Amino acid sequence: MTESSIILCATASAVAIVHTLLGPDHYLPFVAMARAENWPLRRTLKVAALCGLGHVLGSVIIGCVGIALGLGLFRLEKIETFRGDIAGWLLIAGGLIYLAWGVRHAIRRKPHTHAHVHADGTLHTHEHSHVTSHAHIHSTGEKKSRAPLLLFTIFILGPCEPLIPLLMYPASKAHIFDVILVASIYAIATLVTMLTTITACLHVVSFARLDRFERFGPAIAGAVVLACGVAVRAGL
């Protein structure tokens, strides 16, 4: 491996880590959804890993196709910008839908008090919500969440803007091995940073006493996804 290859790989790793940490849309939606839908850590990391891999591979494929067709950096960056716009709007739309459902869910689960008089004249009250008290199971199968599919679709379309210039440099010198190496290191660094950050965030959140706000979980998750979409559209 040449000195320039080592520098390029180190740069790709550093850029991937910084890009991921500075983009809350890379980890906050997973943290919010995991809390709202009670995903175990293993499932959360599996969904995040698949989304992160799709996120990087989408840009790698576009970059390689663009390089093969002889497209310039400016045109490739325009394509990535367009993909970013679509991903941002999908985050906003998905966040709004999930927020609306979350608000409805919270209203239905609002606890209220009923008074009961026993035959001996004893009066007592108890608190319950209609969702837990009057729910009926009509299916033996567990209802599958569509949140992972939504996140995966958004991440497939979401661009890795810094990756394209990193790929263009070795490609311009016909160093195919360096192109593969840079893409691989960028992907690994992105995934490791995403999974580590998500795990740390979930660990911190687990210490918070949020029992009183549990019924607002889906609404909060929708608001977080919506906020990430707005941030993407604003270029933050």
User: pTM for this structure?
Assistant: 0.73
Does residue 103 sit within a domain? yes
Report yes or no on 88 lying in a domain: yes
79, HSE (Cβ side, Cα atoms, 13 Å): 16
Q: What is the pLDDT of residues 87-129, one digit of tens each?
A: 778 888 888 887 887 788 667 665 545 455 555 555 555 554 5
Q: Write phi, then psi, for 218 (nearest 5 degrees).
A: -60, -40
Residue 25 resides in a domain: yes
Query: 161 in a domain, yes or no?
Result: yes
Q: Which amino acid is it at 176? A: I
Residues 6+ apart with CB under 8 A from 124: 115, 116, 118
What does pLDDT average to over the chain?
Answer: 76
In the predicted structure, residue 168 carries a pLDDT above the cut 50 = yes
Domain count within the chain: 1
In a domain, 194, yes or no: yes
Could you report the per-residue pLDDT of 25-71, keeping only the tens digit for each? 889 889 988 888 888 999 999 999 999 998 888 888 877 777 777 66
Annotate 22-60 with DSSP letters as a single string.
H-GGGTHHHHHHHHHHT--HHHHHHHHHHHHHHHHHHHH
Q: Is residue 135 included in any domain, yes or no?
A: no
Quote the domain boundaries for residue 21. 3-110+144-234
Structural domain includes residue 126: no
Residue 130 covered by a domain: no
User: What confidence category does residue 132 fall into, taking pLDDT thresholds of 50, 70 and 90?
Assistant: very low
The string of pLDDT tens digits covering residues 58-73 is 888 877 777 777 666 6
Separation CA 114–CA 128 (nearest Å): 8
